[in-house]
Structure 1
């Protein structure tokens, strides 16, 4: 069975935005990740990029990545060879391969995909898809990079799709620039105690 790991760059106020090139995401300030880079964060990101995974992406994230990553194979070779599962009701094919397009009942199709053999599925960006995954209890872990900034944007990691769930920390580190890299793995239901 495959796991779904959601990897996000997130601000202190819970905003997820693309931290890449200026035209990638125009909803907030561009390139904010660059000023927080150090050897610790570079090593942590490289470790995640070197894992054998398939990708699960929303259509908008896929469109942005398809413009960028095929020309930058030297940075992340695995992104081009990984199977890219794309949630889209409008796109059915693309030249960036291998790609598989999921439409219709996305949650059901992703639940079935999790039951298949293969590498874990990593979700980057894809704000709307992440809300669907959370709503249907399909997220196995959140691998977050929490930056010491507030962005005030609209795309929140934990928004309307959030359900009550417990998590445990499986890995964490703090960089010299104050970025918290933390992996939260699903740990069942929220436990309560009466007073």
Structure 2
């Protein structure tokens, strides 16, 4: 069974929007694009390179696809695997694109992702894709969270844990802190939330 693994860079207050650059996602008047780069160091870089070089297929939303499709085919020297991976894209309007291999999925995304998880193949890595993430979390389809938590707050912006978040327990499987204070924490889904019984 394939796993859905969310790979996300977030602030202390959970913002994931526009981490890559000033023009990446300015929706809602977001003015802090590129907030990740001041915290780049050898530890974070090594973790990112390891994740980029694992076998994977992509599971991303339409907006993330629109940001990535013009860029990554021209920069295959940086991340060769992204061009070879099958890109499963949640979209009700797109049906084809020159960046291949790509599969567009409309309609009941939760049901389609559930079917994808049952198929043979590499794990499904989710980057960005805020709206898709809420759907995945609402339907309990996220198996692992690979987080990089940066030492800043932004106050506003799209958040990883938003309207789709359900009560769920996770187990920490890997953690480290980079020299610039980025907390790298990987979690696996660990059943239901338990509370103390008095």
TM range, smaller chain: over 0.9
TM superposition shift of 1:152: 1.7
**1:143–1:184 CA contact under 8 A, matched in 2:** yes
Distance 1:118 1:18 in 2: 30
Instruction: Tell me the residue number matched to 1:4.
Output: 4
Deviations 1:124-144 (A, max 9, x none): 000000000000000001111
Deviations 1:140-171 (Å, cap 9, x if unpaired)? Answer: 01111100011122311111111111000011
The residue number in structure 2 matching 1:60 is 63
RMSD: 0.9
Structure 2 residues without counterparts, runs of 5 or longer: none
| Residue of 107, 110, 119 corresponding to 2:110 | 107
Corresponding residue of 2:19: 19
What do residues 23-74 of structure 1 show as CA deviations (whole Å, max 9, x unaligned)? 2122231222111011111101100001110000000000100011111111
Work out the number of aligned pairs and report it: 195
TM-score of the superposition, structure 1-length normalised?
Answer: 0.97
User: How far apart, in 2, do the equivalents of 1:86 and 1:114 lie?
Assistant: 15
Note the residue ranges of structure 1 that are not aligned, 5 or more in a row. Answer: none
- For 1:125 and 1:28, the matched residues in 2 are separated by 17
Deviation, 1:18, is: 3.0
The 2-side partners of 1:151 and 1:76 are apart by 29
Aligned match of 1:175: 178
In structure 2, what is the Cα distance between the partners aligned to 1:172 and 1:105?
Answer: 35
The CA deviation at 1:21 is 2.9
Distance in 2 of aligned mates of 1:74 and 1:22: 23
- Give 4+ residue runs of structure 1 displaced > 6 Å after superposition: none
Provide the TM-score with structure 2 as the length reference.
Answer: 0.96
C-alpha distance in structure 2 between counterparts of 1:178 and 1:6, whole Å: 21
Query: Helix, strand or coil: the match of 1:138?
Result: coil
